[in-house]
A and B are shown apart, each in its own frame.
Chain A
Amino acid sequence: MDFLAEGFRRAWGLLIAGDSEVFGIAAVTLKVAIVATAISCAAGLPLGYFLATRRFWGRRAALTMVNTALAFPTVVVGLLLYGILSRRGPLGGLGWLYTWEAIVAGDVLLALPIAAALSAAAVQSVDPRVRRTAETLGAGPWRTAWTVAREARFALAAVITAAFGQVVAEIGAAMILGGNIRGSTRTLTTAVALYTSQGDFGMALALGLVLIVLALVVNIALQVLQGRGHA
């Protein structure tokens, strides 16, 4: 118990003192998470809408594929992308390996199925009359999609939160693709793993607390949004 209490004391001290390493790692994590969430949602939400509303050959297979991708192990995704981004890989020329861009690429691959599958479910739960009504009042495809999205906005906000949650808490791809380089690709999760293995429990705990605070802030923001959007 002393060990745990000591860890908390040191964590609190680091946070209060504004430790540059803790906040530097948090900044990298936030940058990666925001960019990866934005990209995965920008592609995943329209993909989910398309899967939910269009009838085409192979739609069921596409939905099954997206749902299966939800369960992809992060280390396997990291490994595959490592092969692609490594010097001898097809995208080796980009020089992304061990950069924050590589972590973003891995996180996008992991969050995209979440954004697509959950937004498809969210759109499917919207009353089909919303789409018909928008169309019969003269809306084109984009305006119809926007109207449906407005009706499903709470569910879609939850989709964005889930995608953010996946990205910010992921470790496997970040470790393999980023290399956990100090000041460059060290994220909160990879740093927690590193400092725990080095026995610096206080530092690991401080970083863990920052991670929890990040998740809390995003959820509070969502609740505020839901409160404003009532009715």
Chain B
Amino acid sequence: MLELRGVRHRYGKRVVLDLEQFTVPRGAVVAVVGHNGAGKSTLLRLLALLETPTEGQILLNGVAVPRRASAALRRRVTLVEQRPMLFRGTVRENLEYGLRLRGIGRTAVTGIIGHMVEQLGLLPLLDRRRAELSDGEVQRVAVARALALRTDVLLLDEPASSADSAAAGALYRALAAERAARPVTVCVASHQLEDAYRWADDIRALADGRLSPVTPENLFRVDLPPGEGVKNVRVGGIEIAVMTERTGAAVLAVPPTDIFVSREPLASSARNVFKGRVTGMAIGRHGAGVHVRADMGADGGVELVASVTAEAARDLALAPGVSVVFSFKATAVQVF
């Protein structure tokens, strides 16, 4: 289990991460979603023991990690960065790098590499150098290089961002096979919510370096007018009613579980009611993430993610393009 406790991390004077507690349970797949600059990559670098938090502690299996983690400790965790780096040399040499550091014999190294190459379809690339690879191929090699090490914890920063759908499928299948073989703990940073819903046991959202109650699709930066009670705030062509006493710059968060999706308008107390259509769906083990977009002309509107059960999605015959009405209460909108 990997845990951050009371972590506040700064670059210069800027606080880039502020987490009271962040836990990745043993054997679980946790997805971290958030916009660019939300702090996902910094979080993964801290979890990978590559950076020391300015304040707070990192715990690995309940034991506090010292400020300068030893190589032996770092060998239990490995990170694949969003834009991975391959060393000078061939793909084969890159795959061998971490295995040789661990003192694994030549025969065993050849066997492990053969297995990874087969799983991720890297055979034609083995003798190529990094300059001869596409971004997607570099990403696949980097994931294979990390998987080959069989570390307790695997951290993946946007692992499929440069991969086509077939390569992404191969990558996630390799990950699933690894999980089936042993209790590997995985933390994946992604801005693709569909991936998160499909593969993760738990989804955490980051916004401005803090854990957010909702996924990034439902976060809006706004300027709140003065006054009390219900305020109408314009967001991308629609007006959202929010109950708050705050004024000035703020972030509005609409929890996906507080959004009602229906085929017809409902008589209810909800102050926010929008007609729209389904723009995408991701059905996972915890229900369905339904992307709905308020219709405000050709380029207007706002996209939100609503969380519904798989049964509700089936009963309402929700599918991309279907017209829906979605609503949420002014008091459901969180302000922070």
Contacts and interface: CB of A to CB of B under 8 A. Distances in A.
B4 to A, nearest CB: 17
B85 A133 contact: yes
Contacts of A6: none
Interface in A126-159: 127, 129-130, 132-141, 143, 147, 150-151
A133 B71 contact: no
A133 B142 CA distance: 10
Contacts of A141: 71
B249 interface: no
A208 B75 CA distance: 56
Given A136-B48, A140-B71, A151 B88 contact: yes
B121 interface: no
B85 A138 contact: no
A231 B84 contact: no
A132 B42 CA distance: 12
Interface stretch (B97-105, B168-176, B186-194, B262-270): B97-105
Contacts of B79: 132, 136
B81 A138 contact: no
A231 B50 contact: no
Contact of B88 (A132, A140, A150): A150
Given A132-B45, A143-B101, A231-B131, A138 B84 contact: no
Most A CB within 10 A of own CB, among B48, B81, B88: B88
B179 interface: no
Contacts of B145: 137
Q: Is the interface of B mostly helix, strand, loop or mixed?
A: mixed
A143 B72 CA distance: 13
A173 B48 CA distance: 50
B142 to A, nearest CB: 8
A112 B131 CA distance: 35
B87 A138 contact: no
Interface of B: 45, 48, 50, 71, 74-75, 77-79, 81, 83-85, 87-88, 97-98, 101-102, 129-131, 145-146, 149
Interface of A: 127, 129-130, 132-141, 143, 147, 150-151, 231
Q: Which 5 A-B pairs have the closest CB atoms?
A: A137-B98, A129-B85, A140-B71, A138-B75, A136-B79
22 contacts: A129-B83, A130-B87, A132-B79, A132-B81, A132-B85, A134-B87, A134-B97, A135-B71, A136-B74, A137-B145, A137-B146, A137-B149, A138-B71, A138-B74, A138-B98, A139-B71, A143-B101, A147-B87, A150-B88, A151-B87, A231-B88, A231-B131
Given A137-B146, A138-B78, A150-B87, 4 more contacts: A129-B85, A133-B81, A133-B85, A231-B130
